[in-house]
Structure 1
Amino acid sequence: MTEPSIFSNLTRDTHGNVSALHGPYLLQSALQPIVRETSEGVLELEAIEGLVRASRDGVQIPPCELFSLIDEDDRPVVDSLCRSLHILNAGLLGRRDMTLLVNSQPGLFTSPHAIRQEIDRMRLAAHEAGMAPSRIAFEIRERPGDDLEALAPFARQLHEAGFLVAIDAYSATDHDLIRLSRLRPDFLKFDPIWMQRFTGNAAGIALMRVIVAQLEREGIHPIVPSVEAAAQVDRCREMGMPLMQGYLLGRPQIVPTSLNLDFPKAGDTARSATPISRLATPASRAPRTAPRFGRRFA
């Protein structure tokens, strides 16, 4: 019996935006910007992260609870389905110079067959979205009990297929150094709690500047997550301007998004001339304070 394609769960609206159904659950993509401040003080969109938003009968389900509500046998399918959603929706932005980070539960894909199948699904979704695999980073989130030696083949095969690899919660421990060596990530997210403690004084910031520079020399793009205050942006400047992500810079937006308006494409003079006082969000969301994009970030 032929296994049904997970893509049969996908639906498109009249504008091409993609959502999915799994049983009673509606799955949607929320895309959050990851930015870098240029030497001119302009925030540029370097990457986005795809985050799932689930609901049942119109009631929102916290992302951390979604997989606990799904049958264990269905979790790999739903995990894969979410990535396909994010890839297809990110492709609608038409930003060929932008990288998409997609989350994962890598412990769900450990056998050679499961790894090959998941990479094939991602390759198919990338083709449909018009995105090169080299613009899609699979974030390997290590959880308690995960076997690093079992995750390494997944990272290797992703690289061989042309995809990128990202890791999270990096805090420069001995184990993290082993992760760097075994997984060879292209993107790295610092652990936000460790970051806050480590950069609390001038010596820590100076050492972080060395760490950021070393990572970038090795071709690894460091990301500072959970940026929620202007003081954190100041620290990032002192550290050598790694990539930044957080509510101060932009909340996740359920597609369709305003990211192309919030962060105009390079050379788009018509949009660049439009002052943007804050990131545009759907009216149903709570207002927030944010910097002016396309202008100097004071």
Structure 2
Amino acid sequence: METARLILDGRELFSSCSIGVSIYPNDGATSLDLLKHADTAMYHAKNNGRNRFQLYDAAMNTMAEERLQLETDLPHAQERGELVFHYQPQLNLESGRIHAVEALIRWQHPDKGLLAPAAFLSLLEETGGIVSVGCQLLLSACRQTAHWHAAGFTDLIVAVNLSGREFWHETLIPNIGNALAQSGLPAHALQLELTEGIFMTDVDSAADRIRALKALGVAVSVDDFGTGYSSLAHLKRFPLDVLKIDRYFVKDLPNAPANEALISSILALCRGLGLGTVAEGIETRAQLESLRTLGCPIVQGYFISRPVPAEQIIELLGRDWLQAFDTTQHVQPKFTVI
């Protein structure tokens, strides 16, 4: 489905929709049943990336029941401290050291175990709980990174994702300022990650919002670059610091000349605009070496490390990764977390 581009009062806006479809008589004998099942299918479309349609399937009822249970459990999860950050390292291919860690939310559910964000993040968004949870976890990430700085890793950056609801919420700027003040973390050590869709809903207002974030001294990056709405003109309009190259362009390396050409062009573009670059989704040594040859400065992915609890990061920070890559056959760390 295409995203509609609108101009309202001189502002550039983008609109998308998620559609659920149920068909008589297979999906219901009454209008009430058909509407209920179409609604279920619509939420399934939203949970699978939005901007698409979804036909109803009876198996969705089980998924809806599980979703309802998670929705019931979520408020207690925040109270009990079950929502936590795991951290995934970003490796500097020039120095061989960890340059940054991305903070990724997890739910340590008492019955279902460790849940990845795909299982519950949309619920937090829809209920509005993401704002209070995000504020709490942002402070946690800043304090943890300040602790790593105190341990001697003073150049380490922490990247924290912002949802659309968080980005547009009126408390965003004061919440970030408070987190930095309470943790003692230098502002330049905090990087806020946005997906393209967030700031493309209202381009002009988003640019103002990003400038307000930059005024705090923090860095701003755009995630999944190249898979959404971005154009070169928009990159010029937004005061960004870092582009993250989506795993879509990385997954077929090194056997994808077209992808290599695209990545090389993105890297050249970023150098010209003074932007940093991070390539995501590195799962093999061949991918890493291909990106290294192309001149990509920072990489992130399971080949380096899965997201791990904070207490496991300290071991990774002191490692000379390139020496290990160049002298030994790299063995993936055996972490059991997701």
Mark yes or no: TM-score above 0.5.
yes
Higher alpha-carbon deviation: 245-254 or 84-93:
84-93
1:237 shift after superposition: 1.6
**Structure 2: which 5+ residue stretches go unaligned?**
1-75, 321-327
Residue 134 of structure 1: aligned partner: 188
Does the 8 A contact of 2:251 with 2:282 survive in 1? no
Amino acid at match of 1:127: A
User: Relative to structure 1, is the Cα distance of residues 176 and 44 closer, same or farther in structure 2, using a 3 angstrom cutoff?
Assistant: farther
Work out whether residues 170 and 176 of structure 1, in 8 Å CA contact, stay in contact via their aligned partners in 2.
Answer: no
TM superposition score normalised by structure 2: 0.64
Determine if the alignment matches structure 1 residue 124 to structure 2 residue 182. Answer: no
2: CA distance between counterparts of 1:244 and 1:75?
A: 28
State how 1:120-199 maps to structure 2 within 5 Å.
120-143=174-197, 146-171=201-226, 175-196=230-251
- Cα offset for 1:50? 0.5
For 2:262 and 2:333, locate their aligned partners in 1 and report how far apart those are by CA, in whole Å: 36
Sort the Cα spacing of 1:204 and 1:277 in 2 relative to 1 into closer, same or farther, 3 A: closer
How many residues in Structure 1 have an aligned counterpart in Structure 2? Answer: 250
1:31 partner SS: strand
Cα RMSD after superposing both structures:
3.2
C-alpha change, 1:264 and 1:61, in structure 2 (3 Å) is: closer
Is residue 35–residue 245 contact of structure 1 (8 Å, CA) maintained in 2?
yes
Residue 106 of structure 2 aligns with which residue?
53
The within-5 A match list for 1:24-35 is: 26-35=82-91
- Give the AA of the match of 2:97: E
Residues 83/28 of structure 1: CA separation in 2 closer, same or farther (3 Å cut): same
Report which structure shows greater RCO (CA 8 Å, sep ≥6). 1
CA distances 1:25-80 after superposition (whole Å, capped 9, x unpaired): 61111111001222xxx621111100111123253333122234446132321222
- Matched to 1:239, the amino acid is L
TM-score, with normalisation over the residues of structure 1? 0.72
Distance 1:184 1:77 in 2: 27
* Structure 1 residue 66 corresponds to structure 2 residue 120: yes
Contact residue 246 and residue 281 of structure 2 kept, 8 A: no
The secondary structure found in structure 2 opposite 1:256 is helix
Give 1:253 shift: 1.0
What's the offset of the Cα at 1:195?
4.0
Q: Distance in 2 between matches of 1:134 and 1:99?
A: 8
**Change in 2 beyond 3 A, CA 1:200/1:92:** same
Contact 1:190/1:223 (<8 A) preserved: yes
**Structure 1: stretches of 5+ with no match in the other structure:** 1-19, 267-274, 288-298
Give the distance between the partners of 1:135 and 1:276, measured in 2 at CA. Answer: 32
Q: Counterparts of 1:230 and 1:135 in 2: how far apart (Å)?
A: 28
**2-structure distance, mates of 1:125, 1:174:** 31
Contact 1:213 1:240 in 2 (8 A): no
Displacement after TM superposition at 1:252 (Å): 0.9
**Change over 3 Å in CA distance of 1:133–1:278 after alignment to 2:** farther
- Between the aligned partners of 1:277 and 1:76, the Cα distance in structure 2 is 40
Which one has the largest radius of gyration? 2
* Residue type of the alignment partner of 1:73: G
Instruction: Within 5 Å, give how 1:1-298 maps onto structure 2.
Output: 22-23=78-79, 26-38=82-94, 43-57=96-110, 59-70=113-124, 72-94=127-149, 95-110=153-168, 114=170, 117-143=171-197, 146-171=201-226, 175-196=230-251, 200-202=255-257, 204-206=259-261, 208-257=263-312, 259-264=313-318, 285=336
* C-alpha displacement of 1:24: 5.5
Q: Output the CA distance in 2 between the equivalents of 1:166 and 1:80.
A: 19
Report the CA distance between 1:174 and its aligned residue.
7.0
Distance 1:161 1:276, change over 3 A: farther
Residues in 1 aligned to 2:308 and 2:268: alpha-carbon distance in whole angstroms: 31
* Residues 208 and 193 (structure 1), Cα distance of their counterparts in 2 relative to 1, 3 Å cut: closer
Deviations 1:65-124 (A, max 9, x none): 22344461323212222222222222221122121110011344426xx1xx32222222
| Structure 1 residue matching 2:137: 3-state secondary structure | helix
Q: What one-letter code is carried by the residue in structure 2 that aligns with 1:27?
A: L
